[in-house]
Structure 1
Amino acid sequence: MISMSPLFSSSAPPSPAELEARIRLHCLPELGPKRLQKLLSAFGTASSALSAPASSWRALGLPAACSDARRSSTVREQASSTLRWLEQSDNHLLMWDSDQYPALLAELSDAPPLLFVRGNPGLLELPQLAMVGSRRASTPGLDTALRFAKSLAAGGFVITSGLALGIDGAAHQGALDAQGKTIAVMGTGLERMYPARHRTLAADIVASGGALVSELPLTSPAHASHFPRRNRIISGLSLGVLVVEASPSSGSLITARLAAEQGREVYAIPGSIHHPGARGCHQLIRDGATLVESIEHILEALRGWQGVSPVVDVPAPVSHPLLELLFAAPQSSEALVLASGWSLVEVLAALTELELEGRVSCEAGRWYAR
């Protein structure tokens, strides 16, 4: 546990008044973790900080927007709503001085002072592997994420991701398919589900013994600035981060960079040089990330944390001439005709059979191995 102000030096739960004061501070605009730490170091408790004169806040270099909002009815109502939320089953609030606060996350200099959790907060202390990637992932990329997550979760790792569309969603679903556990770190408040189409997935995560996590006040909407903050929590909770598919501009690379800065392992799955979604992973590998072609490449580094035995290896054994070509790179039917020497009729018939077996898929006229 990191050394914090006197407020966070004891594991004793705060009084009801102090708890409300912490929540009110947390709801103030422009008051992030480091500014909150500065306040608590100066005043000792959240209650004292709230009652201090505005001039004392200005002397600490805090913006007027923080001190001016302290006594607003909006902030008071947010705090009251949060306290009512905590009375419901499965809703939890972890603070820096809580015995349940995850130790790995506490190592960060900007660790969230408060973490809202719906579901099982105990998961946050278990060995986790983060999986992230493109929101607009290809079908093979989604399949790879699903299979890696399924294998790692079946072996005992908690799969942590960001509940986004694409690779994140596939990673959560893979863990659920294996009857494993998964944590979704959100870039909104827990009462503002984003993206809306993952509402059912979020409910399934909680119902299966997983958890939804956010540092943001409960009703915080989606905002571009929230997601980089979310990413540091994803990497901070985890032993390592696996990037499955990402373009050079993907936010997943931010998560990978944060993981490296936090001393976590960074893994990346390579792809075809012709696939834009592989370029971010290739950049990570050039920068020192571990190239991953199978589950074993991850287990070699993390085996000491959990006795994980791979349920599925990736990629699956190749036993078909067209699959050998497609594992090398996605191709059109016409390109497969030229590469294989088969007739178009033979290629299309074989692809149809492989597609029915779930071993290939077609996107925008190009065939991919699964």
Structure 2
Amino acid sequence: MDETAHRRAWLTLLRTPRLGPGALREQLAACGGQPDAALEALRQRLPTLPDDTRRWLASPDNRRLDADLAWLDQPGRRLMIHTDEDFPPLLEAIPQPPVALFVVGDASLLLRAQLAVVGARRATLGGRMLARAFAQELGRAGFTITSGMADGIDGAAHLAALEAALPTVAVMGTGPDRVYPARHHALARRLATEGALVSEFPPGTPARVDHFPRRNRLISGLSLGTLVVEAGLQSGSLITARLAAEQGREVFALPGSIHNPLAHGCHRLIRDGARLVETAAEIVEVLAPAAVALGRELAVRLDGAAVATPQETASDVDPSLLALLDALGHRPVALDELAAFTGKTVAELASALLQLELEGRVESLPGSRYQRLPA
């Protein structure tokens, strides 16, 4: 099967009505992971399937699939499949993991240690200022800021990271070509060129109420921890926090005035076991071991080599890391240039660079560039 036919088969599966990620993974597992075989197996069961599922599989909308393929052919766009080497490993550990992600921008950011910053859409000025301050300090500490591109806290966190030339990822509740809310078109354009936009939904998918809880499980699932800045008692951010806790991830909440309704959700989280934090340093202290463990997992998964812990001395560090430091030199180097020079894949480099950044040996720069820091 040629590449276009292969992608067409994936897109046909991903657009099949009522075929959720769990059922699709099951079908793929039964068919050796091959999308064309999975399609054929489903078509063998047409009489047993719901009407809309049967209609789609019997006669897919070829114009829609052609448009999907044309969209994917544009620079900076990718369909990332769960079997790809650089599919985010943290997502594989959550209930109902996605089968595929549509990515616009820098897909390598999905392999970095991420911290979700979420909160109220109608946030106070003080809340937005706190989101900005925490996003920038956590970004400088080596964490990619991940959120949902919503109004209020989400948008403030993304913008703060972009303005400081720090990496940020937006997980969308629409297709990757749609912007919700519409006022965030300018923000989406910046994220597409300076960060990444990620969606589980195919191009053209509009905003729907039931899409946002699905989106929220990916925000928390991609992240080592979730920080809730402001939230009312009915806030969708509490859903993200609950999902993070169910996924075994850390949940952090900022306390506020008892007179501020947007502090009540955070106070409930704290009563329920979330960590009360007042500084970004407290979050870094808690998540640094998990970030190092993620680097180790990526290294073993991608090249079979364990990555040194921050406590190990330079003489004990994996020689491959020392070689990577030598390759970096002391000038900014683009990730693709580094891959060409070292012969390693972008995914392999991402795990090593994560480790070196957490150890304070390497600094990430805009445009997926890295620079060695003075010893």
Number of equivalent positions: 292
Hey, what's the Cα distance between the residues in 2 that align with 1:17 and 1:100? 22
Question: How far is 1:23 from its partner?
Answer: 0.8
Match of 1:91 among 74, 77, 90: 77
* Greater Cα radius of gyration, structure 1 or 2: 1
2:20 aligns with 32
For 1:75-114, list aligned pairs within 5 A: 76-114=62-100
Hey, what's the Cα distance between the residues in 1 that align with 2:26 and 2:42? 15
Indicate yes or no: 2:45 matched with 1:56: yes
Hey, what's the Cα distance between the residues in 1 that align with 2:120 and 2:282? 21
Question: How far is 1:57 from its partner?
Answer: 5.0
2:59 aligns with 72
> Structure 1, residues 336-367: CA drift from partner, whole Å, max 9, x if none?
xxxxxxxxxxxxxxxxxxxxxxxxxxxxxxxx
How much identity, in percent, do the aligned residues show?
50
Whether contact under 8 Å (1:156, 1:307) holds in the other structure is no
Q: Which amino acid aligns with 1:258?
A: L
> Structure 1, residues 213-272: CA drift from partner, whole Å, max 9, x if none?
000011000000000000000000000000000011101000001101111100000101
Hey, what's the Cα distance between the residues in 2 that align with 1:27 and 1:124? 23
Question: How far is 1:185 from its partner?
Answer: 0.3
Indicate yes or no: 2:101 matched with 1:123: no
Structure 2 runs not aligned, ≥5 long: 292-357, 361-375
TM-score (norm 1): 0.75
Question: How far is 1:155 from its partner?
Answer: 2.2
Counterpart secondary structure, 1:242: strand
Counterpart secondary structure, 1:69: helix
1:257 aligns with 242
Question: How far is 1:85 from its partner?
Answer: 1.3
Indicate yes or no: 2:140 matched with 1:154: yes
> Structure 1, residues 161-189: CA drift from partner, whole Å, max 9, x if none?
00000000000011112210000000000
Evaluate the alpha carbon distance shift between residue 140 and residue 14 of structure 1 in structure 2; reply closer, same or farther with a 3 A threshold.
farther
Structure 1 runs not aligned, ≥5 long: 1-12, 309-370
Q: Supply the RMSD in Å over aligned alpha carbons.
A: 1.8
2:225 aligns with 240
2:152 aligns with 166
Hey, what's the Cα distance between the residues in 2 that align with 1:72 and 1:165? 39
Whether contact under 8 Å (2:95, 2:247) holds in the other structure is no
Question: How far is 1:81 from its partner?
Answer: 1.4
Evaluate the alpha carbon distance shift between residue 160 and residue 292 of structure 1 in structure 2; reply closer, same or farther with a 3 A threshold.
same
1:354 aligns with none
Whether contact under 8 Å (1:24, 1:78) holds in the other structure is no
Of Structure 1 and Structure 2, the greater helix share is in 2
Whether contact under 8 Å (2:43, 2:58) holds in the other structure is no
Counterpart secondary structure, 2:19: coil
> Structure 1, residues 144-172: CA drift from partner, whole Å, max 9, x if none?
00110011112221000000000000000
Counterpart secondary structure, 2:186: helix
Whether contact under 8 Å (1:269, 1:292) holds in the other structure is yes
